[in-house]
Chains A and B, each alone.
Chain A
C-alpha cells in the first residue's frame, strides 16, 4: 500500500532480489504496473499473518524503477527469512510513504 497524505493506493510489489546474510536483509522490488518516480520511500513491513508492523526501513530508487532496501533484521526475522526465495509467498506486506529526497 502506498500512503501519500490522505490518499492511499494499493499496488502489487514484485520482489526481484532477496538475500538475508549476516543478519541483514538486502531486497530489491518493483512496483507494478506503472513505475513511480519517487526516489525514496519510508517502508514498513507488515506481517502477513498478524497484520502488525514488524520492521521499518528506507527504500531507495535504484535505476529502472527498482527500489532497494538494506536493513538490519531482528534475529528472529533473520532466522525465519534466511531460507526464503523470491518465488516463495512473502510473509509480509509493505506500507510505503514517499520520503523527502535526501539530496
Chain B
C-alpha cells in the first residue's frame, strides 16, 4: 500500500476529532491538523517517507493522483466522498506541500469556479482585475457552534453579508425566492416540450382562437353549432390541462428538490474563496456570493437535481456560466437585489476579456443601450500573451457585453438558466386571453352541450293585464327564450331573466299590445312557446328546439289562480 503515512495521519485526525482533542472536523481542519501531525506527531520514519515522496516531481504527482482519485473515495467522511480538490488546496499551504511544485496550481484555486464578483479596488475606475474569480465549496458542517454557515477564504468581509447571501440562496431553493422564480417561469419561462409538441400546442391554441372567431363573427352554423362548440371546448380543455399539468408537475418537482437542496445547504458550511486578500467593504458582491453558494450546494450533491428539469437546467448552465459571467448587487435575505455603484463595474467587465454577461441590479446604467454607450467610450484591453520572448499585441476590438438586470435574485436564475422565452410569453398571453374568453362563455357552452330539462310554467303571473309574465322553474334562465304567437296580440319574443324583488322569479316579461292586423277578436287567442336559446357570448344563433307550448289564456289565468 502506498502513502501509508497519509492514512496514519487521517486516522490520527479522525480519532482526535472523535475524542474531543480537535475542534474542527478532519475535513474542515485538514490543513491545521496536518500541520500538527506532521510537525509534532509523525514518527521519524514517516517523515522520511514523506520527504522521499517529495523528492521527485513524478512522486509528487503520484501522490496527488492517489489522493484525488483513491483516497478521497475510500476515506469518506460522514458517509460522503471527500472533496479531493479542496483537501489538496488546503494541504498546499502547509509544510512540506507548500514547497512541492506540483501543488502550485492548488494554492490559488479549489478548481470549483463560480460566477465572478466585481469588487473595485480603492479608487479604481474599472479595471479588468476588479472582476474577481470566486470559488465556492460546500463542506459538511461541523458541530462547532462558533463555525459560521459561510466562511470567507482568502478575503475578509462582514460575516453578516455572507450570511445574508446564504439566506437569499436558501430562499431561492425553498422560500419566497423560489415562489418568485416559479412565477417568473410560469409567465415567460421556456417549457421542456419536444419541438413537435411545441408546434402542436401552438397550432392548437391558434385553432381555438379560429373557432372562437368563427362562432362570434362567422355565419350561423345551424345544426353544426353543437359540434363546433364541442370541438372548441374539448380542444381548449386539453390544451389548458396540458399546460397546467406540465407547469404544476415541474413546479412541484422544483419545490421538492429545492427543499432537499436547502436541507443539504443548511447542513453544510459554504467556503467562498477569492484569492486577492481583499477586505471587501459593502455588500455589492452579495449576488455573486448567493449564486456561488447555490453552485457549491449543487456540486456537493449533483444527483439531487437530476429528476428536476428546472434545477438541472439552471445548475448546468450556472456551471458553464462560471467562466464568463460576473455579478454585482446587494441581496437581502429574501433575494431582493439592491442598487450599487455601477459605472466602473460595467467598465471593468468591458475591459475584462473573459466576461460576456453581467448580472446587475435594476438600474438605468445597466440598460443594454447604456452599456453600449460606455463600451464606445471605454478603451478595451485585450490580454497579451508571451511566446518565447515575443510579445503579441492585439488591436482593440469592439466587445459585446450582455447585461441582465434583476430586481430579484430569481431573475438571475432566469437569466443564467436562459429560461426567458419570448415565444412562450406570447403563447401564454394568447392562452390567457383565450381562457378568459372561454371562462366568460362557459355558461353558453354548457347550455349548448348539456341543455337543461324543459321547465314548467309556474307562478307568479303578471299582476297587470298589460303585461305577460311567463315564470319558469329553472335555474338556468340563459338557456331559454319565450315566444308569443297570437292573432290578437302583437307577436313577441323575450329572453328569460332571473328577477329579484317582491315578485322574484325566473321569467320572461312581455308588454301586451294589440296586433296591427288582427285576425281574431278573441283577446284570449294565442300560444306561448318555450324554446331553447343558442348563444355564444353576445352572438345569438337561430332559435333552438321548441320544447313546450301553453295556451295564452292559461298563462294569463295564472295570476288569478
Contacts and interface: CB of A to CB of B under 8 A. Distances in A.
A14 interface: yes
Contacts of B36: 17, 26, 28, 68
Interface residue tally on A, bucketed by range: 20 to 34
A91 B499 CA distance: 88
Interface in A69-90: 70, 85-88
Interface stretch (A1-9, A40-48, A59-67): A59-67
B133 interface: no
Contacts of B94: 63
Interface in A17-72: 17-19, 26, 28, 32-34, 62-64, 66, 68, 70
A86 B39 CA distance: 20
Contacts of B184: none
A64 B32 contact: yes
B32 A85 contact: no
A15 interface: yes
Contacts of B24: 16
A30 B29 CA distance: 12
Contact of A28 (B19, B32, B144, B159): B32
Contacts of A15: 23
Contact of A17 (B21, B93, B143): B21
A2 B72 CA distance: 40
Chain B binding surface, main DSSP class: mixed
Given A14-B146, A16-B29, A63 B93 contact: yes
A85 B24 CA distance: 12
B25 to A, nearest CB: 11
B93 A86 contact: no
Contacts of B156: 34
A15 B144 CA distance: 11
A26 B40 contact: yes
Interface in B35-49: 35-36, 39-40
A64 B80 CA distance: 26
A26 B39 CA distance: 12
Contacts of B16: 17, 19
Interface string B1-45: 000000000000000100111111000010111011001100000
B368 to A, nearest CB: 41
Interface residues of B, number: 22
Given A28-B32, A63-B31, A70-B40, A14 B23 contact: yes
Contacts of A64: 31-32, 93
Given A63-B31, A63-B94, A64-B31, A18 B40 contact: no
Contacts of B143: 87
A88 B19 CA distance: 12
B262 to A, nearest CB: 27
Nearest to A19: B21
Contacts of B31: 63-64
A35 to B, nearest CB: 9
Given A16-B32, A17-B16, A86 B146 contact: no
A86 B22 contact: yes
Contacts of A18: 21
Contact of B32 (A17, A32, A87): A17
Contacts of A87: 20, 23, 143-144
Interface in B130-149: 143-144, 146
Contacts of B33: 17
B40 A66 contact: no
A28 to B, nearest CB: 7
Contacts of A19: 16, 21
A49 B413 CA distance: 55
Contacts of A28: 32, 36
A85 B20 CA distance: 5
A15 B328 CA distance: 37
22 contacts: A14-B146, A15-B23, A16-B23, A16-B29, A17-B16, A17-B32, A17-B33, A17-B36, A26-B36, A34-B156, A62-B35, A62-B39, A63-B31, A66-B32, A66-B35, A70-B40, A85-B19, A85-B21, A86-B21, A87-B143, A87-B144, A88-B20
Given A16-B24, A17-B21, A34-B156, 15 more contacts: A14-B23, A16-B23, A16-B29, A17-B22, A17-B32, A17-B36, A18-B21, A28-B32, A62-B39, A63-B31, A63-B32, A64-B31, A68-B36, A85-B19, A86-B21
